[in-house]
Amino acid sequence: MNGRNRSDIQAGQTVDIVLKIDQPTGKLTRGTVKDILTKSASHPHGIKVRLHDGQIGRVKKVISPDMP
């Protein structure tokens, strides 16, 4: 699943995000979603989330579709 639809992402899921600093290279960071920051139903560059470790970025891929 890509990370463009808010309905596909929930707290507790494992996702790959692109941090703002990594946007030029596209380097992905893996983590667990703590908060969903994008309010709209979808976003062309990915839904913005905060991971449990505090990093913020846009979801590029949902790794774990299951809730913990």
pLDDT of 67 above 60: no
Q: Is 8 helix (H, G, I), strand (E, B) or coil?
A: helix
pLDDT of residue 49: 98
- Could you report the per-residue pLDDT of 30-55, keeping only the tens digit for each? 999 999 999 999 999 999 999 999 99
**Per-residue pLDDT, 30:** 97
Q: What pLDDT score does 2 carry?
A: 86
Can you list the domains of the chain with their CATH numbers? 6-62 (2.30.30)
Q: Rounded CA gap, 60 and 58, in Å?
A: 6
Cβ contact 3:51 at 8 Å: no
pLDDT (tens digit per residue) in 1-35: 789 999 999 999 999 999 999 999 999 999 999 99
